Copies of this chain bind each other. A is one copy, B any other.
Amino acid sequence: MKKSLMAVALFGAFAGVAHAQTAVQIYGTVDAGFIKRSGQTLNIGKRAANTLGFKGTEELGNGLKALFQLEIRYEPDTGTVEVANRPLFQGQSRVGLQGDFGMVRIGRGLTPYQETVGAYEPWHSLPTPAGFYTDLTVAGYNSAPLDPAGSGNNRWSNAFWYNSPANLWGGFQVNAAVATKENTGLATAIVGNGTAAAPQYPVGAEASANPFSLSATYNNGPASAMFGYERNAIETKVWTLGGIIAPVQDLKLMATYTRQDRGHTAAFNPRTKAWVLGATYAMGPGKVLAGYGQKHPDGAAKTKQFSLGYEYSLSKRTYLYVDASRKKDITTAAGLLANPSTVNHYDVGVNHSF
């Protein structure tokens, strides 16, 4: 009988994981600054998502690796986890294997559709209202409508991911994910095509079909193109076509066109179309960001947004930023407005990665 037989009964809880050899990598971002929005007092807040993560890989031989990643998301101005009691590891919690075949992972994380469109957006997928990522780039689409209120709109719990190697057939990559139908804690019924008494998705509803998400990218010299398609737990569909071109070194021009179809839950006007044009121009340590876009839900007024930003790198890991943005919108936190209302947004701050 080997010593390990009695390990738990001895100092087991402390001796724990003596076989752990690979160092865990700690990484993250702290981003904080001053924000002034129309109708609000001066705030301190964030421009980028703030993260504290733990990740690692283990070589298994034959080119196979095991990998994991756990990513806390928090608000630096108040020290809390992200708004509205999001999960501790809101960023992601995944474990998987990587090899010649690509990578498979299981757990919680960004959907392939959401992850891919973010690379074709001028504010490099930052959640700031100065950027387009969380609204116009995705035509207002929500990846996780059955999650509890306040949950992130671009992540899935209970899902399985596949990413192909980076250069399939000379430049292609494909990414896919599928989620289970599990009830993840919907607290407010979605009436949809039902009635208040018999909502289409009642409190605690499961998905009516397995959500899935697909994206493909193609890279060729100074040009890159993407296509993404996703169907969520209430069978809303979205697709995006995007491209980037770099006509000269330092200048990138980009565009996305997106359609959302809520036909499964909306009897009238189910479609929303949106497009975003963007450009970034690097000048030494500085970079100018610019974008303009429109979102047009069937039968409602257009949302229009114009944004200008500047990032100044103090190092590879630290930069200062300033943004100015104007958005004319009919949707607010209080619901739909009869007439579009204009919100100006200004911010200035610092972003530090570690």
Contact = CB atoms under 8 A, between A and B. Distances in A.
A215 to B, nearest CB: 7
A318 B66 contact: yes
A283 interface: no
A87 B95 contact: no
A196 interface: no
Interface in A1-54: 1, 5-14, 16-17, 19-22, 24-33, 41-44, 52-54
Contact of A5 (B55, B158, B219, B315): B219
A316 to B, nearest CB: 5
Nearest to A80: B87
A290 interface: no
A105 to B, nearest CB: 8
Contacts of A60: 314-315, 318
Contacts of A53: 16
A352 B31 contact: no
A87 B78 contact: yes
Given A20-B354, A95-B30, A14 B67 contact: yes
A24 B22 contact: no
Contacts of A199: none
B215 A55 contact: no
A222 interface: yes
Interface in A104-119: 106-110, 115-116, 118-119
Interface residues on A, range: 35 or more
Contacts of A352: 58, 66-68, 95
A98 to B, nearest CB: 8
Interface string A51-90: 0111110101100101111101011111111000001111
A168 to B, nearest CB: 11
Contacts of A245: 1
A94 interface: yes
B224 A108 contact: no
Contact of A66 (B76, B180, B252, B314): B314
Contacts of A157: 44, 77-79
A22 B207 CA distance: 44
B158 A43 contact: yes
Given A74-B93, A76-B93, A182-B44, A110 B13 contact: yes
17 contacts: A1-B219, A1-B223, A13-B92, A17-B27, A19-B353, A21-B317, A41-B182, A58-B318, A74-B93, A76-B95, A77-B106, A78-B157, A79-B88, A79-B90, A79-B93, A80-B89, A96-B350
Given A12-B115, A30-B93, 4 more contacts: A6-B219, A10-B217, A41-B180, A60-B315
